[in-house]
Chain A
């Protein structure tokens, strides 16, 4: 009898703290994931502080300093650390401002496709029947096109711009979220706690969003990190093809497109923007791997 009196009621805040601690324990076991997290945080800081840390304006053209090599090469200039591009703009400053573009693209596209995908997936998985069939056929249709091709064609319809590119990419990434949410909802829906909530009088909206959705978040978080890096890659590819952000925007893919004809004369105008894309995407994918290991109960080694 005395034992039951001693047990503390577990508050949901304490439970959450414990889950977070457990999550961090598994996440921090993965060295790559922690490195990825730190690189990503550094990029966020660079993007936020871009106006403070960039040595030059990303648009200022120094006509007397065209295609200056990086400072450690002969002919380099310490005021342009990574050299200048064919019209004399400081590459480092453009890369720093480019971080704003890439992170914004990732955030915008992921938010758009995640919310859209969750909404549609919840409806499909909860109601089933013909609604489900129609939705899933629609998703199959979107998945039948290679994402970059669909984005390219959508941009051809809507007109080349970064906003249209992001909408197109979000549309192509969305079916993955729909499928994941639907599968998770279908698995959770028949569980006892959902039945209990329904018997307690919860309506369909409360059941979908408050009861079921919080228990489906693990695969969605992993997919969201994947989408974040995919969005950055696809947007850069669109920019590279001239169909994304338009010059003179310092978007990394667009910078590569502008530099293409100079590749055999000035390697630095091509190398650094691509390296920036690679490092960003790699950092996010490293985090994604760590998240998957930490959130997937099957991978946990107790």
Chain B
């Protein structure tokens, strides 16, 4: 297992270096003067230009600049935002819990509904239940989630007035962030109604973000179950006289879950992309909205840092999924 872990990490390092080269090169690929782009100052005297250039290290050879950048990244220095002048890592860490909270709730919804739906569809293969469930799953899979979010806002916030349109919590409540997770912080604050306000803000964005992963998980669970249910050992278990429930829950499910867990892990990347749209629609102050805003403000250092951080997170998550996969499926380790 340890060797397997080392091998996976060894593959990761060149990929991470490549990702960092892309993030580094991206600002230099932009049309225009990188000094102006990185400092955010449009018009400057030649002296000022030289001063900033030296300050940012842009007057040195490209390779040195890259190594410098990589050194900064490894020590946690991702540069400074042009707009807010604050360190990028600090901004990221302040916003990341909001995205984690949203993604976590979304994946919870997707797993809690997707796996049972897939199992039921597989057991009742070909029935009306199977067909309608898979029909719904295909619609969910094809859904433009930015539109889906707007529809839900029209229905639940506009017509029914059940949920708020945007943000993480009502403006009535204020408390300093402790964990950064609004559900926990609102409970800790002890203010009456704060928690339910946080929940009502979280529901619609979570549902929207859960839509595509839910559809993918349901489809994957169904096909994995169908494959397992046709195996000989399932027939043996049935022949032994085990109840259908025990056959499914004890024998089939455990093996069918192996590909499903990989699918769930791969959805994390999908989620971070979905967060870009979901957070924009619901003005959810997470890293997805942060990236979109930075693209609009031409805050290139933030785009650069955010790109690298998000790619890094996805790589780590994929590594964890790989390791989990190795744990539950010993065949893969060799």
**From B139, B269, B291, B315, contact of A278 by CB (8 A):** B139
* B76 CB to nearest chain A CB (Å): 20
- In terms of DSSP, what is the predominant structure of the interface of chain B? helix
Question: Is A78's CB within 8 Å of the partner chain B?
Answer: no
Stretch at the interface among B150-158, B188-196, B246-254: B150-158
Using CB atoms, name the residue of chain A closest to B27.
A157
Question: Is A263's CB within 8 Å of the partner chain B?
Answer: yes
Question: Is A184's CB within 8 Å of the partner chain B?
Answer: no
Whether A156 contacts B303 in the complex (CB less than 8 A), given A263-B158, A278-B147, comes out as: yes
Inter-subunit contact A278/B153 (CB<8 Å): no
* B132 CB to nearest chain A CB (Å): 12
Within 8 A of A (CB), among B74-122: none
Question: Is A146's CB within 8 Å of the partner chain B?
Answer: yes
A32, A138, A241 pick with most chain B CB within 10 angstroms: A241
Inter-subunit contact A149/B18 (CB<8 Å): no
Inter-subunit contact A147/B273 (CB<8 Å): yes
* A122 CB to nearest chain B CB (Å): 22
Instruction: Chain A residues near B158: list those with CB within 8 A.
Output: 263-264
Stretch at the interface among A13-21, A57-65, A212-220, A266-274: A266-274
Inter-subunit contact B295/A152 (CB<8 Å): yes
Question: Is A103's CB within 8 Å of the partner chain B?
Answer: no
Instruction: Chain A residues near B14: list those with CB within 8 A.
Output: 137
Within 8 A of A (CB), among B14-34: 14-15, 18-19, 22, 26, 29-30
Using CB atoms, name the residue of chain B closest to A265.
B158
A146, A243, A270 pick with most chain B CB within 10 angstroms: A146
Question: Is B143's CB within 8 Å of the partner chain A?
Answer: yes
Inter-subunit contact A141/B292 (CB<8 Å): no
Inter-subunit contact B142/A149 (CB<8 Å): no
Instruction: Chain B residues near A253: list those with CB within 8 A.
Output: 144, 146
Whether A157 contacts B142 in the complex (CB less than 8 A), given A145-B307, A145-B310, A148-B277, comes out as: no
* B142 CB to nearest chain A CB (Å): 4
Inter-subunit contact A286/B138 (CB<8 Å): yes
Inter-subunit contact A256/B270 (CB<8 Å): no
Whether A153 contacts B303 in the complex (CB less than 8 A), given A270-B154, A274-B147, comes out as: yes
Inter-subunit contact B150/A274 (CB<8 Å): yes
Inter-subunit contact B303/A233 (CB<8 Å): no
Instruction: Chain A residues near B52: list those with CB within 8 A.
Output: none
Instruction: Chain B residues near A242: list those with CB within 8 A.
Output: 296
Instruction: Chain B residues near A43: list those with CB within 8 A.
Output: none
Inter-subunit contact B277/A240 (CB<8 Å): yes
Within 8 A of A (CB), among B193-224: none
Whether A281 contacts B273 in the complex (CB less than 8 A), given A149-B307, A274-B150, comes out as: no
Instruction: Chain B residues near A156: list those with CB within 8 A.
Output: 295, 298, 303
Bound CA–CA A228/B61 (angstroms): 43
Inter-subunit contact B142/A240 (CB<8 Å): no
Inter-subunit contact B280/A241 (CB<8 Å): yes
* A259 CB to nearest chain B CB (Å): 9
Whether A146 contacts B270 in the complex (CB less than 8 A), given A153-B295, A282-B138, comes out as: yes
Whether A141 contacts B303 in the complex (CB less than 8 A), given A152-B291, A233-B144, A289-B138, comes out as: no
Q: Map CB proximity to B onto A120-153 as digits: 1 under 8 Å, 0 otherwise.
A: 0000000000000000011011001111110011
Inter-chain pairs besides A137-B14, A149-B273, A274-B151, 10 sampled, C-beta below 8 Å? A146-B314, A149-B276, A152-B276, A155-B295, A157-B26, A240-B146, A240-B277, A256-B147, A264-B158, A273-B147
5 contacts between A and B (CB under 8 A): A140-B15, A236-B146, A256-B147, A278-B142, A278-B144
